[in-house]
Amino acid sequence: MAIDRKYIFDRVSWHLKKETKYFMSGDLHTLIGIDAFRRIAEDIRYPKVNMSAYMTSGQWRINISSDFIKVDETDDIVYEYSGSSIVKITPKAKKLIGRDQLMTASPGIPSNYFMENETTIGFYPPSTSGCIVIPYVQVPTSLSSDADTNQLTERCYQAAVFWSVSQCLLMDDDERYLVYQRLYDIEIARINRMYNEMYEEDKDVIPHEDYLRW
């Protein structure tokens, strides 16, 4: 049986038992179909995709994809140049570089990246001609109708249920939301262990704390 939006909706309604004012509104479909899975994707760092951008000499920032949630900190941003040479680019907070330093730097091989804002990622020093490859966490496909599924529904539907119920109870000032938030956290920890076993490798780069908030 496919785990689709209707299945998740029915599970949410069973937990709520039609006791919440938020239940049965159109907002609940948005909560399940978009918000819940975006939150899950951010917490488990999946689905993962790459985007590539060719840089011109002196270029220091690029626009990120519209389905971008955050850089996948379990992988490396890399800079490819001269046909075959590849270097890893490490994260650094923008405030530790400074715009004056960035604007006056000579083009070279980028050594650091930072979030310029929510739609732009920057590099220091400005690039010479080359290609930036950015691994990132992608917004899951929205569930716009009852039969819709996405990359996370099969393995993460229970987390979507717990998170959606917690948000409905929170909207109603019902303290039981804390119980479901805890259940969500436990489920996310389980999913992370599962995905770590499937996909992750140990990394020697620890992201800067300012970067992790994205």
What's the pLDDT tens digit per position in 178-188? 999 999 999 99
- Rounded to 10 degrees, the C-alpha dihedral 32/36/41/42 comes to 160
Whether 210 has a pLDDT exceeding 80, the answer reads no
Residues recorded for the chain: 214
Whether 214 has a pLDDT exceeding 50, the answer reads no
Whether 26 has a pLDDT exceeding 90, the answer reads no
What local confidence, expressed as pLDDT, does residue 186 receive? 97
Are 29 and 178 within 8 A, CB to CB?
Answer: no
- Which residue blocks in the chain are alpha helix, DSSP H? 5-16, 26-30, 36-44, 99-104, 153-171, 177-199, 209-212
Could you tell me the CA-to-CA distances from 14 to 158, 170, 177 in Å, in that order? 13, 17, 15
Q: What is the mean pLDDT of residues 31-60?
A: 95
Whether 211 has a pLDDT exceeding 80, the answer reads no
Tokens 């020697």 belong to residue: 204
The pTM (predicted TM-score) of the whole model is: 0.83
Could you tell me the CA-to-CA distances from 193 to 5, 73, 197 in Å, in that order? 25, 16, 6
Q: What is the mean pLDDT of residues 190-195?
A: 90
- Taking the C-alpha atoms of residue 207 and residue 214, their distance in angstroms, rounded to an integer, is 11
